[in-house]
Structure formats: C-alpha cells, structure tokens
C-alpha cells in the first residue's frame, strides 16, 4: 500500500498504515457493509448503499459515537468500493444509471472530512489521517484503482480500465 500511495504522490506513513488496515479488514466477510468490526460489532445494521449511510448519519445527534463511526464508514466504504471495484461502478452506471466515480469521491471526501472534525477523532488519534484522506480522496481512489488493476484483477480488460491506465 505504501508504494502504491508513494507512486500517487501521497507520502504519509500513518495514512498508508490506516489504508492497509482498511484493505485487510474490509476483506473479511461482509465487514465492508458494517460500521464496526471484530468484537465490537454490536451494531448489526448493514449498509449496501452510501445513501443509506448518509440517511442514518442525518438522524444522529451531533457528537454521537455512532455518528462518528458512520462518518468514517462513509469515507472508508466510498474508497473501498470505488477504489477496488471501479469496473463494477462503471457497469452499474451503464446498466442501471448508477452514480459515477465523482459521486463516490465527493461522499468519501465528505465522510472523512466530517470524521476529522468530530471530537472522537482527536481522542482516537485519527483526526490527521481523516483530514489528509479527505483532502487527497481522488488521489487515494486512483491509487486504489491502480492496486486493484495490478493485483486483484490483472486479467480483467474493460474500456474503463484501459482509460484509467493511460
């Protein structure tokens, strides 16, 4: 992950470590759809669409822990989905009129930006990581796209992949 980010012009070890952990954690069965993982997975709500995260986020009181988790998850899920599965996003857009990558960039940026300003971000030591992720979201997503194209789906050939790699 670190080398992929460096190639994208992102030189932040803490952010690279966070994103590497995100890749590992979201690789676990259905973890990408939950705001918590591991032993603290007491919240059984799952999210398959970003709009559902935004909807629940609007109902949370300011400063609430669950609100913070939803904000961070909005950033994480946007990056994971649009970063690792851009061809899925493109196919869904063509087939059913789904949103484009810019939609994911904007929601991801908003999620990380909101999370960076939450009181719990400072307490947990992630305010700077989320702030940097919000500021650099399109570059992070493009780095994830390259990682996905090179490592996860090297033999997939789509028009979108060709354009991404020009």
Count of C-beta atoms within a 10 Å radius of residue 119? 12
Going from N- to C-terminal start, the domains of the chain cover 2-164
Distance in angstroms (rounded) separating the CA atoms of residues 86 and 67: 27
User: According to the model, what pLDDT value does residue 29 have?
Assistant: 76
Q: Which residue has better confidence, 95 or 158? A: 95
Distance in angstroms (rounded) separating the CA atoms of residues 124 and 108: 20
pTM of the model: 0.89
pLDDT band at 40 (very low <50, low <70, confident <90, very high): low
Read off the pLDDT of residues 44-74 as tens digits, 9 standing for 90 and up: 788 999 999 999 999 999 889 999 999 999 9
138-130-72-87 Cα dihedral, nearest 10 degrees: 20
Read off the pLDDT of residues 74-127 as tens digits, 9 standing for 90 and up: 999 999 999 999 999 988 988 989 999 999 999 999 999 999 999 999 999 999
């Amino acid at each position: 992950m670190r080398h992929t980010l460096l190639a994208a012009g992102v030189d932040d070890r803490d952010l690279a470590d966070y994103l590497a952990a995100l890749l590992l954690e979201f690789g676990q069965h259905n973890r990408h759809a939950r705001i918590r993982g591991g032993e603290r997975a007491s919240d059984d709500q799952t999210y398959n669409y970003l709009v559902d995260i935004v909807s629940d986020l609007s109902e949370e009181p300011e400063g609430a822990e669950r609100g913070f988790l939803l904000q961070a998850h909005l950033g994480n899920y946007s990056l994971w989905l649009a970063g690792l599965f851009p061809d899925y996003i493109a196919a869904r857009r063509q087939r059913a009129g789904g949103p484009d990558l810019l939609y994911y960039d904007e929601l991801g940026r908003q999620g990380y930006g909101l999370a960076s300003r939450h009181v719990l971000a400072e307490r947990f030591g992630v305010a700077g990581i989320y702030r940097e992720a919000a500021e650099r979201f399109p570059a992070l997503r493009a780095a994830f796209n390259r990682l996905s194209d090179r490592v996860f789906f090297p033999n997939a050939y789509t028009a979108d992949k060709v354009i991404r790699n020009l």
